[in-house]
Amino acid sequence: MSESQRASADANDDLPNRGEIQDLLEDGIREAHRKVKEGRVYDAENEKVRIKWIRALAYAANVHRQIQNDRDLEELSERLEQLEENTNAPKK
């Protein structure tokens, strides 16, 4: 393994896995939703902040959906590979 491959592998060990990322996104979505629902608007500046929270909520929800879609596609791909292996296996 080259130096760059080792460095890349070490860097990947520090990164959260897909499940951890989804957990973080879910926490962020809950917090953004709470801020949007319960935030008090006294002036235009507070309304600007609320709009930013709404954007953050929409962005986090979209990323969460994309990650879930990726997970679903991987699971389907694995199931398809298993089916193909079973179909192509020699019959007894």
What number of other Cβ atoms are within 10 A of residue 50's Cβ? 16
Q: Would you write out the chain's pLDDT as a tens digit for each of its 92 residues? A: 566 556 555 656 777 888 888 888 899 889 888 888 887 767 888 788 888 888 888 899 999 999 999 999 999 999 999 999 998 877 66
The stretches of 1-92 forming alpha helices (DSSP H) are: 3-14, 18-38, 44-88
Q: Whole-model pTM above 0.75?
A: no
The structural domains of the chain, with segments of one domain joined by +, span 3-88
